[in-house]
Each structure stands twice: as C-alpha cells, then as structure tokens.
Amino acid sequence: MQVGADRPIGREAPAGFDTRLVGMLAILALVWAVLQMLTGGTFLSARNLYNLALQVTVVAILTTGMVLLIVARQIDLSVGSLLGFLSVAGALIQTELLAVDGAQTWWLTLLAMLAAGALIGASQGALVAYGNIPSFVVTLAGLLFFRNAAYFINMGETIAPLNATFQRLGGGLGGAIGERWSWLLCAAALAFVLWRTVSQRRQQERFRLAARPLWQDASLAALPAAGIVGFTLVMNSYAHPVTGLPMGIPVPVLLLIAVVAAMSVLARQRVFGRHVFAYGGNPEAARLAGVDARRLIVKLFALMGLLCGLAAAVISARLNAGASATGTMTELSVIAAAVIGGTSLAGGVGSVAGAVLGALFMQSLESGMILLGMPSPLQKMMLALVLVLAVWADHRARRVVVT
C-alpha cells in the first residue's frame, strides 16, 4: 500500500474507512463494555466519562506532537520533566510578577509558558540537528535537567493558589461552557460535517472523479455526527455538584479538539507535514528531494515544546498549583499512546487521530482499573503489557505489508 501523510499502516475499506482506526474504535468499545460490566455500571456513568475526558487531555495534547517526532525518527523523553518545569515557572510568573494585576493578566502567564516551551524545544532540536547529537541523548539529558530545574527554581515548594480565571483552563467546577454553548458548538460541528461531505462530492463531480454511492457518503457523515451528539449529550448529563446545572463541555477538552484539528491539518494538508512523513519514510531520499532536514527537526522540537507549554497550563490550572513533581513519568504515557495508536517506531507511519485514540484507550484502562480497586503497581504492569502487545502488533502489521 502507499503510505501517506497522517496514515497508519492498514488497508482502506471501499467505503473510505481506515480499517486501522475502525479496528481501534471497535477494541475501545469492547473494552468500555467489559469495564462497564466489571464496575457494575459505573464506568459509563456521566460523572466518570466527564472525568475521563478531563484526564486524557494532557497526554493527548502531548501525543499529537510526539506522533510527528516519532514519524520523523526522533524521540522526546523530556516532555514530562518540561511539563513540571513549565508548571512551576508559570505559577511563579503568575504569583510573583503578575501578583498586582493577576486577574487581568493571567493570559500573559499562558503566553510565557507557550513561548518558554517553544524556545526550550527549539534549543533541544538545534542540538539534535546542528550538533549531530542523537535525540535520545539530548532529551534524556533534558529529562534530568528540567526535572531538577523544576525543584531548583522554587526549592521544591508547591505554588498555590492560582488565578481563578486561569483555573478554567483546567476544567474544574468553573471550567466548562455549560449546556447552551455545548449544544451550539455541537450544531456548528454537525454543520461542518455536512458541509465537508457535500463539498467533497461536488469536487468529485467537478473533476469527474469516481464518486462513492450516496449511502456510503451518508454513512461516513452519520458516524462522526452520532459521536458528536453523543459526546455533547454525555457532557451535558453531568450536573454541577453545587448548582445542579449541566456542566457541558470542559474547556481543556475544547483545547484538545482545537489542537487535534490543527495538528491533523498540519500533518495532512501542509508542506511541513508532507516533509515530516517523507523524511521519516526515507531520510536520504527526502534530502535529495530538497527537504531541509535540520530546519525540519528544529521546527518539530519547537512544536513539541509549544504543546508542552499548553499542556503545562492545563494541568497546573486543574491542580490550581505549580508543583515540581508534575508530569513525572508522563513521557512514557505519551510515547505509549502514540505507539498504541499506530505510530511506528521505525518512522514514516503515524496518525494524529490514532494517537489520540491510543491516549483514550490507555486512560480508559487506567480509569477502569482504579474503579476496580487494583493496586497502582499492578495498573502500571498491565499498561506495560499493553504497550508490548501494541509494538508486537505493529511489527506484525509491517511484516504483512512488506510481504
């Protein structure tokens, strides 16, 4: 098969479905059904699904960037430590530098965290690209450096509380948009799905391409539409613990949706994404075709750092504190989510949507095991086994495609 941008290994069904993603959705649905039975109906409750949506956001945001890095045959082991460093640094900026007018300037904290993350990422990328140091070594050093820097800049003390408006980025009691705005966004999303389906058919007719039967296009539109409506309904089903009003879609989930949309467009419809997949598929051929590999690597790491800044803002806002221990071992969860989502460690193959499903799959397992009362060590052991199975499945899939 031909491997293109943002495409995992797998065959595309006649109706236009990517069988790898469809398979992942089927497995996720099966896991949810099993966990629903084992937890006595608790897992699929509105409260647990609302919390699950919140819990997956940080890892999913980081995973969208890790996919492109792994596709380009790079790795970033420093994302967890950078998460902690930026969390503490952002809290210091907000409580010390902006203490006088924190309510009006909380967004400066967010900008500072994004800029610092991008700068740190670009610096690590420059060491990889221009210093010819393997990314594994550079980011392993970053893991050690920024984890200890997070302790050093505030002597390990937790900084709290943070600005009330800033806390909304974390999706707490005031961090959701409510029932009305949720349904309005749902309607806008449904309109977009319909517009996209109609525009694709018109383009096929305009250029006299073979168009799919109408029922197939209707099915392709109906599935995401059902998912959008179902998700909105669940988010609105969870009531505010104090007021009793529907919470609606959490702000961090909206941020995740925006990040996934932007990263998908970047990977599939922009020259940058095509260069990433071309370089990951065959670095030598990409260089001969005119791809500036050094600049590409620096941009990738800068993008990863930018996403770290956003994820740090979300998690510190949720915790209402900047803590040096934030993000411990998060890098392993991010890499595991990308691999489980179909990103090949050999490079050249990956999917933003698949990686987000991988993050959701891992978080679902962890949430289910917590509800079942499993000890924390056993939870990590189970997730490790899942990761090994995912890598094995990827290896088998690559052998099938090659043969």
* Average pLDDT of the chain to the nearest whole number: 88
For residue 309, pLDDT over 60 is answered with yes
* Helical axes 19-38 vs 352-371, angle rounded to 10°: 10
The most confident of 151-165, 204-218, 298-312, by mean pLDDT: 298-312
Higher pLDDT, residue 23 or 311: 311
pLDDT of res. 218: 84
Cβ 351 vs Cβ 67: under 8 Å? yes
Cβ 298 vs Cβ 369: under 8 Å? no
Q: Indicate the CATH number for domain 19-175+250-402.
A: 1.10.3470
Sign of CA dihedral 240, 245, 246, 248: negative
The most confident of 27-36, 118-127, 167-176, 372-381, by mean pLDDT: 118-127
Our CA angle for 207, 209, 210, nearest 5°, is: 160
Helix (H, G, I), strand (E, B), or coil: what is residue 40?
A: coil
Mean pLDDT of 47-74: 95
Mean pLDDT of 250-273: 95
pLDDT confidence bin for 18, thresholds 50/70/90? low
Our CA angle for 343, 124, 280, nearest 5°, is: 30
Higher pLDDT, residue 390 or 152: 152
For residue 212, pLDDT over 90 is answered with no
Cα separation, 179 vs 228, in Å, equals 14
Higher pLDDT, residue 84 or 163: 84
Residue type, 211: A
Q: Which residue has the tokens 């056993």?
A: 378
Cβ contacts of residue 58 below 8 Å, gap of 6+? Answer: 83, 252, 311, 314, 315, 330
Taking alpha carbons only, the member of 82, 221, 96 closest to residue 138 is 82
Q: State CA 54 to chain mean position distance.
A: 12
Mean pLDDT of 119-144: 96
pLDDT of res. 164: 86
pLDDT of res. 8: 43
pLDDT confidence bin for 96, thresholds 50/70/90? confident
Cα separation, 182 vs 143, in Å, equals 38
For residue 207, pLDDT over 60 is answered with yes
Cα separation, 80 vs 326, in Å, equals 8
For residue 77, pLDDT over 60 is answered with yes
Tokens of 6: 């943002």
pLDDT of res. 400: 53
Using a pLDDT cut of 70, give the percent of the chain over it.
91
Picking from 127-136, 264-273, 375-384, 390-399, which range would have the lowest pLDDT averaged per residue? Answer: 390-399
Cβ 238 vs Cβ 246: under 8 Å? yes
pLDDT confidence bin for 60, thresholds 50/70/90? very high
For residue 146, pLDDT over 70 is answered with yes
pLDDT confidence bin for 148, thresholds 50/70/90? very high
Taking alpha carbons only, the member of 15, 110, 29, 64 closest to residue 354 is 64
Mean pLDDT of 19-24: 79
Mean pLDDT of 187-214: 84
Picking from 295-304, 307-316, 350-359, which range would have the lowest pLDDT averaged per residue? Answer: 350-359
Complete DSSP assignment for 238-269: SBPTTT--B-BSBHHHHHHHHHHHHHHHHHHH
For the chain, which residues make up each domain, given as ranges? 19-175+250-402, 176-247
pLDDT of res. 397: 66
For residue 6, pLDDT over 90 is answered with no
